[in-house]
Amino acid sequence: MAGSGGTIEGQGGHGAAAGARFRMRASALGGKAARALVWPAWILAALIAGPAVSVAITAAFGDLETWSHLAATVLPRYALTTFWLLLIVGTGVALIGTGAAWLVTACRFPGRGLFEVALALPLAFPAYVLAYAYTDLLDHPGIVQSTLRDVTGWGPRDYWFPEIRSMPGAAAMLILVLYPYVYLLARAAFLQGCPTAMNVARTLGSGPWSAFFRISLPMARPAIVAGIALAAMETIADFGTVAHFGVQTFATGIYSAWFSMGDRAAAAQLSTCLLMLALTLAGLERAQRGAAQRHQAGRRYEALGVARLTGWQAAAAVTLCGVPVIFGVLVPLAMLVSMGVDSGQSPFETRYLGFARNSLVLAGSAATITVLAALLIGYAERLAPGRVSRAAATMAGIGYAIPGGVIAVGLLVPLAAFDNGLDALARAHLGVSTGLLLTGTMAALLLAYSVRFMAVALNAVEAGLSTIRPAMDQAARTLGHGPAATLARVHAPLLRGSLLTAALIVFVDVMKELPATLIMRPFNMDTLAVQAYRLAADERLAQAAVPSLVIVGFGCLPVMLLAREIRRSRPGHAR
């Protein structure tokens, strides 16, 4: 046994040495051209981290009297509401996502294959779209309460009905669209990391529940916590849902301070609070993983024992998996279609085609720019590995933890200062006004989108690059190709799937993005998301259904890709 241990240790040392030699060779092969890529990567990373720095500086130099007023009036309410919203949503997505993932992975019951895919579909719906649908359904003049009054003969004061426009209502909408984060990550963990240990526990006499709580759940904990952290960051970044329901959180406070009060310092100070909360959540998620590693036990996972459920157990499993799908997909989709038909409007009307064109142009441009920037950062890290390139990649990935409203404030403050300063100089020396060159432009909005979703594209690019063997780089270099030619002729074709996936996800995320678009959009360039929000704010929910349906339609694209991967990922599926 000692000899075996020594052999394993020797192999590990050899692998580490080989990795170190490859890093040296990769840097040497790239030469000056490879090292030159690090500086553009750092510039892009600095642009992405810029909004957070801008918000912190603006808040620090803001009026302390304004901050004192905020702390004495709205800040406690914002903090308390955001805390309870996080607590409810985090608990809800953890229970639904983990429970559904375990049922479709470890149990066999009627409709399991259908639920395995359908449980991911709510990702296609923005939370604010669900809010519009359920408001029309459950509000006082809605179908449910109107039918209740018609059947019972009650008046408006004769019964109690839960208020949908409330903090619990907002939490319910967010839970229904965010639990797939936990479901997808937990399902992958249960499918790949836990079966061998589970089978051993079952052979040692542990029952299904005991094995689940003692073996599977602890092993899947990092994936579950990661999903909860993603849902929490989306929750604090949400603006459309809480604004529609009249729930006062940091996100709505930032918008009110910027537009209603016209106070940039107050908006920056509230943005700093939200930024610190987002970074804390991201830090806690990373810290809880620590140095723990959980590895898949080869192809032995195909021996996973699946419990066959019958009778009331099968009915309970179908119910538990069906409820999120019914209320997260079927009911809102039916309501949106009904509302759209009642509105008498068509998505092919001239004005809606204009909104769709604006959304498509912004989303397509943002996806292209973001993926190209992510490719540059990821490729620089591959050619010149080291602390500098890794630091650039880490900085570039921070944007996903920054809510859209914070990014908007962080960009608008320095851009407005630059435009105003340039205009003052032009007036003083040339007698002309330059106006706003950067503020309120499409370029500024595209930068905000790139900052917000760079992490999504970078993760996909890095995952694709990690599958390309280093020997291919070396072979290309020996044939006389430089870094640019190697990227164009070797890496790009191999990365086509990863790049397409990254572009598609960024495209759909931009289509759904509301707070950054609402604050930074150019004049007279409304998108589908902005139009839906405006109509809903004016209580024209039927009209808001039309742009909402178009947004959902585009949101189905990445979910269809996920559905295909879900079907392929089950052991034994022919690829």
Domain range list for the chain: 29-52+344-537, 62-289+307-340
- CA pair distance 55, 52, nearest whole angstrom: 5
Position 91 confidence tier, pLDDT thresholds 50, 70, 90 = very high
Q: Within 10 Å of residue 94's Cβ, how many Cβ atoms?
A: 19
Alpha carbon distances (Å) from 214 to 1, 109, 202, 296, 324 = 30, 24, 11, 18, 26
- CA pair distance 55, 399, nearest whole angstrom: 13
Mean of all residue pLDDT scores within the chain: 80
> Lowest-pLDDT range, 151-155, 297-301, 382-386, 422-426?
297-301
Position 365 confidence tier, pLDDT thresholds 50, 70, 90 = very high
Q: Do domains 29-52+344-537 and 62-289+307-340 have the same CATH topology?
A: yes
pLDDT reported for residue 18: 44
- DSSP one-letter code for 438: S
pLDDT reported for residue 303: 42
Query: Considering only CA atoms, which of 212, 208, 207, 206 is closest in space to residue 189?
Result: 212
What are the DSSP calls for 225-264, one per residue? Answer: HHHHHHHHHHHHH--HHHHHHT---HHHHHHIIIIIS--H
Alpha carbon distances (Å) from 245 to 136, 242, 270, 307 = 12, 5, 20, 42
In tens, the pLDDT along 331-361 reads: 999 999 998 888 887 777 888 888 889 999 9
User: What is the pLDDT averaged over residues 383-389?
Assistant: 75
Report helix, strand or coil for 275: helix
- CA pair distance 268, 413, nearest whole angstrom: 9
Task: Identify whether the C-beta of residue 190 lies closer than 8 Å to the C-beta of residue 571.
Answer: no
The share of the chain scoring above pLDDT 70, in percent, equals 83
Structure tokens that stand for 443 in this block = 């370029």
CATH for 62-289+307-340, options being 1.10.3720.10, 3.40.50.2020, 3.30.420.270, 3.20.20.100:
1.10.3720.10
CA 23 to chain CA centroid, nearest Å = 32
pLDDT reported for residue 30: 52
Question: Exposed e or buried b for every residue in 447-464, given b needs 16+ CB within 10 A?
Answer: bbbbbbbbbbbbbbbbeb
Top CATH class, 29-52+344-537:
mainly alpha
Task: Identify whether the C-beta of residue 450 lies closer than 8 Å to the C-beta of residue 509.
Answer: no
In single-letter form, the type of residue at position 473 comes to: D
Report helix, strand or coil for 481: coil
Query: pLDDT: is 181 or 26 the higher one?
Result: 181
User: What is the pLDDT averaged over residues 15-26?
Assistant: 45
pLDDT for 369 beyond 60: yes
Query: Considering only CA atoms, which of 135, 336, 328 is closest in space to residue 145?
Result: 135
pLDDT for 181 beyond 80: yes
pLDDT reported for residue 384: 73
Facing residues of 308 across strands? 108
What are the DSSP calls for 500-552, one per residue? Answer: HHHHHHHHHHHHH--HHHHHHPPTT---HHHHHHHHHHTT-HHHHHHHHHHHH
- CA pair distance 504, 457, nearest whole angstrom: 9
Position 270 confidence tier, pLDDT thresholds 50, 70, 90 = confident
Q: Within 10 Å of residue 482's Cβ, how many Cβ atoms?
A: 14
Structure tokens that stand for 563 in this block = 């559905």
Residue 334: CA count within 13 A, CB half-sphere: 8
Residue with tokens 């429970």: 99
